[in-house]
Amino acid sequence: MSQRGPLDTLIELAQEGRDRAALGLAQARQGEQQGVAQVETLKRYRQEYAERLQRAMQEGIDPASMHNYQHFLRSLDDAMGRAQQALEQQRRQVTRSQQQWQGEQRKLSSYDTLASRRADQAERVRQRQELRLNDELSQLALRRGRTPHSLQGGH
């Protein structure tokens, strides 16, 4: 009965936009989780390596090995810094993706509200038309009912 109109097309496009934004948000959150895992792994590894250095120092360590340990720890610190920066960037992406999804959801909700109002208005118009038709049919039935009685009364 109902035909697809421009509003239906807008709703469909808004749903697709919201779904794309939701997918982008899910991917951004997954990237964030991976970033957190990477930072935590590097922290644990650095802690373990620092503990090894401590044990080696207690047992006695030659200067070359000490330098190698320290160099590797600095490399781990640099890697942790880069991983932390990447994580912060990914968190900003999550925020942007969430805002985009919310915007798409608001747009869809607006269109849904318009469609609901239009459907309510169409239903009110249909009810008024039905009421008018029933009134007309009732009046017609009354007129027809009077005519035979008035004809019988005239004879």
Determine the CATH number of domain 9-138.
1.10.287.1700
pLDDT of residue 2: 56
Determine the Cα angle at 32 with ends 87 and 21, to 5°: 125
pLDDT of residue 4: 80
- Predicted confidence band of residue 150 (pLDDT cuts 50, 70, 90): very low
- CA separation for the pair 5, 17 (Å, rounded): 19
For 63-113, what is each residue's pLDDT tens digit? Answer: 999 999 999 999 999 999 999 999 999 999 999 999 999 999 999 999 999
| pTM above threshold 0.85 | no
- CA separation for the pair 56, 19 (Å, rounded): 55
